[in-house]
Amino acid sequence: MNSFWRRYEKIIEIDSFLPIRQEFEFMRASSYKKNETLGEGFRLRTMRFRGQISQGLLMPISTFSEIPENAALGEDGFHVTGHNYEYKDDGKSSFYELVKKMNLEEKMRTFVRENGKRVGLNRMLEVCKALELQSVPIEEVGTDLPSKYPTVEALLERSDGEYPNGGKKEGIVIRPTEPIYCPLISASLSMKVVNNKYLLKNED
């Protein structure tokens, strides 16, 4: 099982807008889009397969010849992204201008990971304060979460709800307050529970 995860390392999340290239042509019938800003490509959508909701795409890293299999963290560059788009440093993006004004690239390269590892909750909040950034809302902290939410259905119900501004909540992220490395996924434990009601409501 470990060798499977080492070979299949490139995970593409839903809402990604993928370029026209041979590796993604199998998605043309279901996912081809023409966007005024991004041009032609394939939008990775939430879909149902055999009654189950699919929330991403897993592909072998070897599929992409431009990515070295032994690439180290940070070699794929610094990017400024929104929910659906990646913004260019072309003088036209207010997001990029804010990043440069706050000197976030240099700060983030210093703070985001320490000693090559993900930091815990308290340290993350310290980093956010140092970067003058607001963290996402922390809804719940405790040691009894497995007993409170013992099933997938319970977790999905927990992920449902609305933001303070009235918008439908996208979901929740669950992770230990201090990072725990998992050999099975070759990374620190982290789980995203996506609100299915949000997904189905916002799909084309």
Tens digit of each residue's pLDDT (9 = 90 or more) over 140-195: 998 888 899 999 999 999 999 888 888 888 899 999 999 998 887 777 888 889 88
Higher pLDDT, residue 204 or 184: 184
Least trusted range by pLDDT, from 53-57, 95-99, 180-184, 187-191: 53-57
Instruction: Rounding to the nearest 10 degrees, give the CA dihedral for residues 56, 61, 63, 67.
Output: 120
Task: Give me the numbers of helices (H) and strands (E) for the chain, helices first please.
Answer: 8, 13
Residue 79 CB contacts under 8 Å (≥ 6 apart), including other chains: 86
Token pair, residue 37, equals: 């800003």
Cα–Cα distance, 55 to 44 (Å, whole number):
9
**Residue 131 and residue 104 in contact, taking contact as beta carbons nearer than 8 Å:** yes
Mean pLDDT of 115-135: 85
Residue 183 CA to chain centroid, in angstroms? Answer: 20
pTM for the predicted model, two decimal places: 0.54
pLDDT for 133 beyond 60: yes
In tens, the pLDDT along 73-88 reads: 656 778 888 766 788 8
Specify the pLDDT at position 131.
83
